[in-house]
Amino acid sequence: MNDFKPGLEGVVAVQTEIAEPDREGGALRYRGIDIEELVGHVPYEKVWGLLVDDDINSEMPHPEPYEPAALSGNAPSDLQAETGRLSGVWRLGKLNEISDEQAREDLGRLSAEMMEIVARSAAVAEGREPAPDDVVAGGDTAAERFLLRWRGEADPRHVTAIDTYWICTAEHGLNASTFTARVVASTGADCGAALSSAVGALSGPLHGGAPARVLPMLDAVAESGDAEKWVAEALARQVGAQALVTGESLGQVASQTLENVARIDEAATMPVFRPLIGTDKLEITAEAQRLGTFEISIEPDADCCTLFTPKHPSTRMSDDGTRAVEAALDIPGLVDAGTAGAKLETFAYPSGEALV
Protein backbone atom coordinates (compact mmCIF):
# COMPACT_ATOMS: atom_id res chain seq x y z
CA MET A 1 0.00 0.00 0.00
CA ASN A 2 1.29 3.42 -0.92
CA ASP A 3 1.45 6.05 1.82
CA PHE A 4 -0.64 9.09 1.00
CA LYS A 5 1.25 12.38 1.07
CA PRO A 6 -0.84 15.55 0.87
CA GLY A 7 0.21 18.38 -1.44
CA LEU A 8 3.34 18.15 -3.55
CA GLU A 9 5.67 16.62 -0.98
CA GLY A 10 8.36 14.64 -2.77
CA VAL A 11 7.14 15.69 -6.21
CA VAL A 12 9.58 17.40 -8.59
CA ALA A 13 7.49 20.30 -9.83
CA VAL A 14 9.98 21.92 -12.19
CA GLN A 15 13.60 21.76 -13.26
CA THR A 16 15.51 24.89 -14.23
CA GLU A 17 19.02 26.02 -15.07
CA ILE A 18 18.11 29.70 -14.92
CA ALA A 19 18.34 30.40 -11.19
CA GLU A 20 20.28 28.55 -8.53
CA PRO A 21 19.74 29.60 -4.92
CA ASP A 22 22.37 28.52 -2.43
CA ARG A 23 20.94 25.82 -0.16
CA GLU A 24 22.40 27.64 2.82
CA GLY A 25 20.66 30.85 1.76
CA GLY A 26 23.88 32.80 1.29
CA ALA A 27 23.93 33.27 -2.47
CA LEU A 28 21.79 33.40 -5.60
CA ARG A 29 23.13 32.68 -9.06
CA TYR A 30 21.62 33.44 -12.46
CA ARG A 31 22.89 31.06 -15.14
CA GLY A 32 25.79 30.24 -12.80
CA ILE A 33 26.70 33.90 -12.12
CA ASP A 34 26.41 35.19 -8.55
CA ILE A 35 24.08 38.20 -8.52
CA GLU A 36 26.69 40.09 -6.49
CA GLU A 37 28.74 40.12 -9.68
CA LEU A 38 25.77 41.61 -11.53
CA VAL A 39 24.37 44.22 -9.17
CA GLY A 40 26.07 47.55 -9.78
CA HIS A 41 27.98 46.17 -12.76
CA VAL A 42 25.33 45.11 -15.27
CA PRO A 43 22.01 46.93 -15.77
CA TYR A 44 18.78 45.04 -15.33
CA GLU A 45 17.99 44.89 -19.05
CA LYS A 46 21.18 42.85 -19.63
CA VAL A 47 20.37 40.58 -16.70
CA TRP A 48 17.00 40.03 -18.39
CA GLY A 49 18.93 38.95 -21.50
CA LEU A 50 21.07 36.62 -19.41
CA LEU A 51 17.99 34.95 -17.93
CA VAL A 52 16.01 34.71 -21.16
CA ASP A 53 18.74 34.10 -23.74
CA ASP A 54 21.66 32.92 -21.59
CA ASP A 55 23.58 35.86 -23.04
CA ILE A 56 24.76 38.79 -20.94
CA ASN A 57 25.08 40.88 -24.09
CA SER A 58 21.44 40.35 -25.02
CA GLU A 59 19.06 43.05 -23.79
CA MET A 60 15.40 43.53 -23.09
CA PRO A 61 14.11 45.81 -25.88
CA HIS A 62 12.86 49.35 -25.36
CA PRO A 63 9.10 49.72 -24.97
CA GLU A 64 7.14 50.43 -28.13
CA PRO A 65 4.87 53.46 -28.62
CA TYR A 66 1.66 52.55 -26.86
CA GLU A 67 -1.10 54.52 -25.17
CA PRO A 68 -2.90 52.62 -22.38
CA ALA A 69 -6.66 52.68 -22.64
CA ALA A 70 -7.28 53.98 -19.13
CA LEU A 71 -5.11 54.05 -16.05
CA SER A 72 -6.54 54.13 -12.54
CA GLY A 73 -3.33 54.67 -10.63
CA ASN A 74 -3.59 51.20 -9.10
CA ALA A 75 -0.46 49.72 -10.65
CA PRO A 76 -1.23 45.98 -10.21
CA SER A 77 -4.75 46.36 -11.62
CA ASP A 78 -3.58 48.59 -14.46
CA LEU A 79 -0.75 46.23 -15.34
CA GLN A 80 -2.96 43.14 -15.35
CA ALA A 81 -5.62 44.80 -17.50
CA GLU A 82 -3.26 46.45 -19.98
CA THR A 83 -1.06 43.38 -20.38
CA GLY A 84 -4.12 41.33 -21.29
CA ARG A 85 -5.26 44.08 -23.64
CA LEU A 86 -1.93 44.02 -25.48
CA SER A 87 -2.66 40.45 -26.56
CA GLY A 88 -5.47 41.78 -28.73
CA VAL A 89 -3.85 45.06 -29.78
CA TRP A 90 -0.68 43.30 -30.92
CA ARG A 91 -2.52 40.19 -32.13
CA LEU A 92 -0.23 37.86 -30.23
CA GLY A 93 -0.27 34.24 -31.37
CA LYS A 94 -1.13 31.24 -29.24
CA LEU A 95 1.96 29.59 -27.80
CA ASN A 96 1.08 26.17 -29.22
CA GLU A 97 0.75 27.71 -32.69
CA ILE A 98 3.87 29.91 -32.90
CA SER A 99 7.61 29.19 -32.96
CA ASP A 100 9.93 29.52 -29.98
CA GLU A 101 11.54 32.50 -31.72
CA GLN A 102 8.19 34.26 -31.99
CA ALA A 103 7.38 33.50 -28.36
CA ARG A 104 10.74 35.01 -27.38
CA GLU A 105 9.95 38.16 -29.36
CA ASP A 106 6.50 38.44 -27.77
CA LEU A 107 8.02 38.03 -24.31
CA GLY A 108 10.53 40.81 -24.96
CA ARG A 109 7.92 43.26 -26.23
CA LEU A 110 5.64 42.58 -23.29
CA SER A 111 8.41 42.75 -20.67
CA ALA A 112 9.46 46.20 -21.82
CA GLU A 113 5.91 47.50 -22.17
CA MET A 114 4.89 46.23 -18.75
CA MET A 115 7.52 48.46 -17.12
CA GLU A 116 6.21 51.39 -19.12
CA ILE A 117 2.65 50.69 -17.94
CA VAL A 118 3.71 50.57 -14.28
CA ALA A 119 5.64 53.84 -14.58
CA ARG A 120 2.65 55.57 -16.17
CA SER A 121 0.28 54.18 -13.56
CA ALA A 122 2.56 55.37 -10.74
CA ALA A 123 2.52 58.89 -12.18
CA VAL A 124 -1.27 58.86 -12.34
CA ALA A 125 -1.39 57.66 -8.72
CA GLU A 126 0.57 60.74 -7.71
CA GLY A 127 -1.78 63.06 -9.61
CA ARG A 128 0.34 64.00 -12.60
CA GLU A 129 0.74 63.13 -16.25
CA PRO A 130 3.50 60.68 -17.20
CA ALA A 131 6.57 62.46 -18.55
CA PRO A 132 6.72 62.90 -22.36
CA ASP A 133 8.82 60.72 -24.64
CA ASP A 134 11.57 63.31 -25.16
CA VAL A 135 12.25 63.38 -21.41
CA VAL A 136 12.26 59.59 -21.15
CA ALA A 137 14.63 59.31 -24.10
CA GLY A 138 17.34 60.94 -21.99
CA GLY A 139 17.67 57.84 -19.84
CA ASP A 140 20.51 55.42 -20.44
CA THR A 141 19.11 52.38 -18.64
CA ALA A 142 15.71 50.78 -18.17
CA ALA A 143 15.65 51.87 -14.52
CA GLU A 144 16.48 55.45 -15.42
CA ARG A 145 13.86 55.59 -18.17
CA PHE A 146 11.32 54.07 -15.76
CA LEU A 147 11.92 56.84 -13.23
CA LEU A 148 11.86 59.53 -15.90
CA ARG A 149 8.48 58.35 -17.16
CA TRP A 150 7.18 58.13 -13.61
CA ARG A 151 8.60 61.26 -12.01
CA GLY A 152 10.08 63.30 -14.82
CA GLU A 153 13.46 63.08 -13.10
CA ALA A 154 15.84 60.32 -12.11
CA ASP A 155 17.88 60.67 -8.93
CA PRO A 156 20.98 58.47 -9.44
CA ARG A 157 20.45 56.95 -5.99
CA HIS A 158 16.91 55.96 -6.89
CA VAL A 159 18.07 54.57 -10.23
CA THR A 160 20.59 52.37 -8.43
CA ALA A 161 18.01 51.25 -5.88
CA ILE A 162 15.43 50.24 -8.48
CA ASP A 163 17.99 48.54 -10.73
CA THR A 164 19.30 46.58 -7.74
CA TYR A 165 15.80 45.57 -6.66
CA TRP A 166 14.86 44.43 -10.16
CA ILE A 167 18.01 42.31 -10.47
CA CYS A 168 17.58 40.70 -7.06
CA THR A 169 13.96 39.75 -7.79
CA ALA A 170 14.29 39.00 -11.50
CA GLU A 171 13.89 35.24 -11.18
CA HIS A 172 11.69 33.45 -8.66
CA GLY A 173 11.81 29.90 -9.97
CA LEU A 174 8.47 28.47 -8.88
CA ASN A 175 6.26 30.65 -6.70
CA ALA A 176 2.59 31.62 -6.95
CA SER A 177 2.91 34.05 -9.86
CA THR A 178 5.47 32.12 -11.90
CA PHE A 179 3.53 28.91 -11.36
CA THR A 180 0.39 30.69 -12.55
CA ALA A 181 2.17 31.87 -15.68
CA ARG A 182 3.43 28.34 -16.37
CA VAL A 183 -0.04 26.86 -16.00
CA VAL A 184 -1.61 29.41 -18.36
CA ALA A 185 1.23 29.05 -20.88
CA SER A 186 0.84 25.26 -20.78
CA THR A 187 -2.70 25.64 -22.11
CA GLY A 188 -1.35 27.25 -25.29
CA ALA A 189 -2.57 30.74 -24.38
CA ASP A 190 -0.55 33.70 -25.67
CA CYS A 191 2.26 35.41 -23.73
CA GLY A 192 0.03 38.33 -22.80
CA ALA A 193 -2.52 36.05 -21.16
CA ALA A 194 0.20 34.17 -19.25
CA LEU A 195 1.86 37.33 -17.94
CA SER A 196 -1.45 39.03 -17.14
CA SER A 197 -2.50 36.06 -15.03
CA ALA A 198 0.87 36.10 -13.28
CA VAL A 199 0.35 39.74 -12.33
CA GLY A 200 -3.04 38.81 -10.91
CA ALA A 201 -1.40 36.26 -8.61
CA LEU A 202 1.42 38.66 -7.78
CA SER A 203 -1.02 41.34 -6.64
CA GLY A 204 -2.35 39.20 -3.78
CA PRO A 205 -1.53 40.42 -0.26
CA LEU A 206 0.04 37.06 0.57
CA HIS A 207 2.43 37.24 -2.40
CA GLY A 208 3.69 40.35 -4.18
CA GLY A 209 1.32 42.53 -2.20
CA ALA A 210 3.04 41.58 1.05
CA PRO A 211 5.53 44.52 0.96
CA ALA A 212 2.58 46.90 1.02
CA ARG A 213 1.81 45.54 4.48
CA VAL A 214 5.43 45.32 5.60
CA LEU A 215 6.31 48.94 4.84
CA PRO A 216 3.82 50.40 7.35
CA MET A 217 5.18 47.91 9.87
CA LEU A 218 8.75 49.13 9.32
CA ASP A 219 7.58 52.73 9.62
CA ALA A 220 5.94 51.87 12.93
CA VAL A 221 9.11 50.18 14.18
CA ALA A 222 11.21 53.19 13.19
CA GLU A 223 8.76 55.57 14.85
CA SER A 224 8.76 53.54 18.06
CA GLY A 225 12.55 53.68 18.20
CA ASP A 226 12.79 50.21 19.76
CA ALA A 227 12.69 47.15 17.49
CA GLU A 228 12.78 44.67 20.39
CA LYS A 229 9.82 46.30 22.11
CA TRP A 230 7.90 46.47 18.84
CA VAL A 231 8.42 42.72 18.33
CA ALA A 232 7.27 42.06 21.89
CA GLU A 233 4.12 44.07 21.28
CA ALA A 234 3.49 42.28 17.97
CA LEU A 235 3.69 38.92 19.74
CA ALA A 236 1.46 40.22 22.53
CA ARG A 237 -1.20 41.27 20.04
CA GLN A 238 -1.09 37.83 18.42
CA VAL A 239 -2.26 36.22 21.67
CA GLY A 240 -4.64 39.04 22.62
CA ALA A 241 -2.47 40.36 25.47
CA GLN A 242 -3.11 43.91 26.62
CA ALA A 243 0.25 44.57 28.29
CA LEU A 244 3.90 43.52 28.40
CA VAL A 245 5.72 42.03 31.37
CA THR A 246 9.51 42.28 31.70
CA GLY A 247 12.01 40.94 34.22
CA GLU A 248 13.80 44.20 34.83
CA SER A 249 15.03 44.86 38.35
CA LEU A 250 16.21 48.36 39.16
CA GLY A 251 19.98 48.41 39.58
CA GLN A 252 20.31 44.65 39.11
CA VAL A 253 22.65 45.24 36.18
CA ALA A 254 24.33 48.41 35.01
CA SER A 255 21.84 49.01 32.19
CA GLN A 256 18.68 48.71 34.33
CA THR A 257 18.49 52.28 35.58
CA LEU A 258 15.60 54.72 35.79
CA GLU A 259 16.87 56.59 32.71
CA ASN A 260 17.06 53.43 30.62
CA VAL A 261 13.68 52.16 31.82
CA ALA A 262 12.23 55.51 30.76
CA ARG A 263 13.69 55.09 27.26
CA ILE A 264 11.91 51.73 26.96
CA ASP A 265 8.60 53.19 28.11
CA GLU A 266 8.87 55.94 25.50
CA ALA A 267 9.05 53.31 22.76
CA ALA A 268 6.23 51.11 24.06
CA THR A 269 2.60 51.61 23.08
CA MET A 270 1.35 49.01 25.58
CA PRO A 271 1.54 49.20 29.38
CA VAL A 272 4.78 47.62 30.66
CA PHE A 273 4.58 45.78 33.99
CA ARG A 274 7.79 45.07 35.95
CA PRO A 275 6.89 42.81 38.89
CA LEU A 276 10.57 42.38 39.81
CA ILE A 277 11.50 46.06 39.65
CA GLY A 278 12.09 46.40 43.43
CA THR A 279 13.34 42.92 44.28
CA ASP A 280 16.93 41.88 44.86
CA LYS A 281 18.82 38.97 43.32
CA LEU A 282 18.17 36.56 46.21
CA GLU A 283 14.43 37.21 46.08
CA ILE A 284 14.35 36.72 42.29
CA THR A 285 16.31 33.47 42.60
CA ALA A 286 13.95 32.14 45.24
CA GLU A 287 10.89 32.97 43.11
CA ALA A 288 12.47 31.30 40.03
CA GLN A 289 13.10 28.15 42.07
CA ARG A 290 9.48 28.13 43.27
CA LEU A 291 8.18 28.55 39.71
CA GLY A 292 10.49 25.84 38.37
CA THR A 293 12.36 28.13 35.98
CA PHE A 294 15.64 28.49 37.89
CA GLU A 295 17.40 25.47 36.36
CA ILE A 296 16.57 26.71 32.87
CA SER A 297 17.76 30.22 33.68
CA ILE A 298 21.25 29.13 34.72
CA GLU A 299 21.92 26.95 31.68
CA PRO A 300 24.76 28.34 29.54
CA ASP A 301 23.27 29.83 26.41
CA ALA A 302 24.19 32.36 23.73
CA ASP A 303 21.48 34.79 24.76
CA CYS A 304 21.38 38.55 24.37
CA CYS A 305 23.29 39.05 27.63
CA THR A 306 26.31 37.10 26.39
CA LEU A 307 26.14 38.13 22.73
CA PHE A 308 25.38 41.83 22.91
CA THR A 309 26.45 43.13 26.33
CA PRO A 310 28.98 45.92 25.74
CA LYS A 311 32.13 46.26 27.79
CA HIS A 312 30.90 49.55 29.16
CA PRO A 313 27.06 49.59 29.16
CA SER A 314 25.32 52.94 29.14
CA THR A 315 23.56 53.68 32.43
CA ARG A 316 21.87 56.89 31.35
CA MET A 317 20.84 56.52 27.72
CA SER A 318 19.41 59.65 26.17
CA ASP A 319 16.55 59.68 23.67
CA ASP A 320 18.82 61.02 20.91
CA GLY A 321 21.49 58.45 21.73
CA THR A 322 18.99 55.61 21.61
CA ARG A 323 17.70 56.63 18.20
CA ALA A 324 21.24 57.05 16.83
CA VAL A 325 22.16 53.51 17.89
CA GLU A 326 18.94 51.96 16.56
CA ALA A 327 19.32 53.72 13.21
CA ALA A 328 22.12 51.25 12.44
CA LEU A 329 20.03 48.18 13.32
CA ASP A 330 18.70 45.71 10.78
CA ILE A 331 15.11 46.23 11.91
CA PRO A 332 13.48 43.84 9.39
CA GLY A 333 15.95 41.15 10.39
CA LEU A 334 15.32 41.70 14.08
CA VAL A 335 11.57 41.56 13.58
CA ASP A 336 11.83 38.32 11.59
CA ALA A 337 14.20 36.75 14.12
CA GLY A 338 12.07 37.81 17.05
CA THR A 339 8.77 36.49 15.75
CA ALA A 340 9.96 33.35 13.95
CA GLY A 341 9.43 30.22 15.95
CA ALA A 342 8.04 32.07 18.95
CA LYS A 343 6.84 29.75 21.70
CA LEU A 344 4.04 30.67 24.10
CA GLU A 345 4.53 29.71 27.74
CA THR A 346 2.27 30.65 30.67
CA PHE A 347 3.56 31.08 34.21
CA ALA A 348 1.52 31.73 37.34
CA TYR A 349 2.89 34.57 39.48
CA PRO A 350 3.30 35.09 42.40
CA SER A 351 1.81 31.70 43.24
CA GLY A 352 0.86 28.58 41.33
CA GLU A 353 2.52 26.00 39.10
CA ALA A 354 4.13 26.77 35.77
CA LEU A 355 2.02 25.88 32.75
CA VAL A 356 3.72 25.19 29.39
- Predicted structure pTM score: 0.63
Q: How many residues does the chain have?
A: 356
**What is the average per-residue pLDDT within 335-347?**
65
Per the model's pLDDT, the better-predicted residue between 217 and 195 turns out to be 195
Run of H or E including 92: none
- Between CA 53 and CA 104 the distance in angstroms is 9
Quote the pLDDT of residue 354: 47
Flag whether pLDDT at 83 surpasses 70: yes
Reported as a pLDDT band with limits 50, 70 and 90, residue 143 is: very high
Cβ atoms of 115 and 150 closer than 8 Å: no
Q: How confident is the model at residue 95 (pLDDT cuts 50, 70, 90)?
A: very high
Greatest Cα pair distance, the chain, in angstroms, is: 81
Q: Give the per-residue pLDDT at 353.
A: 52
Least confident of 9-18, 163-172, 184-193, 302-311: 302-311
| Local confidence band at 355 (pLDDT 50, 70, 90 cut-offs) | very low
Q: Does residue 350 have a cis peptide bond before it, meaning omega lies within 30 degrees of 0? A: yes
Q: What is the pLDDT of residue 356?
A: 43
Average pLDDT of the segment spanning 121-127: 95
CA–CA separation, 305 and 91 (whole Å): 65
Q: What is the pLDDT of residues 252-309, one digit of tens each?
A: 766 677 777 777 777 677 788 888 888 888 888 888 888 888 888 777 765 555 555 5
In this structure, CATH architecture of domain 19-208: Orthogonal Bundle (1.10)
- The pLDDT score that the predictor gives to residue 269 is 73
Q: How far is CA 57 from CA 16, 24, 49, 281, in A?
A: 21, 30, 7, 68
Taking phi over 0 as left and psi of -120 to 50 as alpha, with beta for the rest, 182 belongs to: alpha
Give the strand pairing for 28-30 and 33-34. Answer: antiparallel
For the chain, which residues make up each domain, given as ranges? 19-208, 224-339
Dihedral, CA of residue 195, residue 199, residue 202 and residue 204, to nearest 10:
-140
pLDDT exceeds cutoff 80 at 128? yes
- Containing H/E element for 339? helix 331-339
pLDDT over 50 at 207, yes or no: yes
| Mean pLDDT, the chain, integer | 82
- pLDDT, residue 267, reads 66
Superfamily of structural domain 224-339: HUPs (3.40.50.620)
Report CA dihedral (253, 256, 258, 259) to the nearest 10 degrees: 110
Work out the average pLDDT over 88-101. 96
Lowest mean pLDDT among 133-147, 216-230, 244-258, 337-351: 337-351
Lowest mean pLDDT of 19-28, 99-108, 166-175, 274-283, name the range.
19-28
pLDDT tens digits, 211-265: 666 777 777 777 666 676 777 777 787 778 888 887 788 877 666 777 777 777 7
103, 153 Cβ separation under 8 angstroms: no
Three-state SS at 21: strand
